[in-house]
Structure 1
Amino acid sequence: MGQLAPAVGADGANNGYTALVAKFTALQNAATGLLEEAERLAQRMRANANAAITVADLSAAAHVDDRHVAAVADVGTAFGRVVGGCKQLMGAAEAMHTATGHLKAEHQAEYGAIHAAVTASRARQAAPGFYRPQ
């Protein structure tokens, strides 16, 4: 499984203010993409489920062997279960998008003014972690 960002805590500039904002934005965009893809998949599977049910109904009306009608109906049911899974995935993606948005907003509220002050100053700043108590 791919990673959006390295899972390294002490990663220097890669964990600076702007880098974290970029990572949060990338995570939010990934959640949006996942939500959109899950919606498309759910629509396709819903159409497939409806088509399978229609074929099963037409087959039953044509007096096709009951085993075959049942098999086609089972396929329709399976497509329906996939739709349910897609809806769960969509809920998770939406929750991830929302949580990441809150995290990004909190990060900007907490550190945005500090970052603005540091970048506005011409004075050289200490390296990250310099003021951290031992």
Structure 2
Amino acid sequence: MSDLVPRPAHLPATTGTPSFTGLAARTAALTASALALKEGLWSLQRRMGRDADHADMLADLCTAAEVEPRFTGLINEAATALRAVAEASADLARTADQVQHDSQGLHDAHQSEYRGVYEAVNASGVRQARPGFYRTR
């Protein structure tokens, strides 16, 4: 069974035939989602870093207070795990940044390539043939 999460309802629905506006909406949604993911991951990275720093301070205070070493060791392990989460979330945020950049590039290329055609077709007022009708072999 797949571990993929179903598509949220706020994303554009897929259609059988791709359209200019449909693809533009999908690339814009992908760009916005990647941006939101990136911002959330950077926030997570900062929070985990702060929490790890606080855990280190708590471990130092426990050592000074001569708390049983196994408890201090557990606090140090928690700090190490929090730093690992911070590092992994930063790596994932950099990847999300690349996805955002690439999807924005796709969106911009799609707009520059097909916006004029889309506007010309809609401005003519004449019903156009289905995609592929004018294709020659």
Aligned length: 130
2:31 to 24, 28, 36: 28
Q: Could you tell me which amino acid in structure 1 is paired with residue 55 of structure 2?
A: A
User: How far apart are the structure 1 equivalents of 2:86 and 2:66?
Assistant: 29
1:61 partnered with 2:64: yes
Question: Following superposition, which runs of at least 4 residues in structure 1 exceed 6 angstroms of deviation?
Answer: none
TM-score w.r.t. the length of structure 2 is: 0.87
CA RMSD of aligned residues (A): 1.7
Q: Where does the alignment leave 5 or more consecutive residues of structure 2 unmatched?
A: none
What is the distance in 2 between the residues matched to 1:46 and 1:131? 59
What SS does the corresponding residue of 2:117 show, helix, strand or coil? helix
Distance 2:48 2:20 in 1: 42
Percentage of identical aligned residues: 33
Structure 1 Cα separation of the partners of residues 74 and 54 of structure 2: 14
Structure 1: give runs of 5+ residues left out of the alignment. none
CA–CA distance in structure 2, aligned partners of residues 83 and 107 of structure 1: 36
Query: How far apart are the structure 2 equivalents of 1:2 and 1:92?
Result: 21
Q: What CA distance in whole angstroms lies between the structure 2 residues aligned with 1:7 and 1:20? A: 9
TM-score of the two chains, using structure 1 as the length reference: 0.88
> Map of 1:113-124 to 2, 5 A cutoff?
113-124=116-127
Identify the match of residue 2 of structure 1 among 3, 6, 26.
6
Residue 78 (structure 1) shift: 0.3
The Cα of 1:131 is off from its aligned counterpart by 2.4
Answer yes or no: is the 8 Å Cα contact 2:12–2:22 preserved in 1.
no
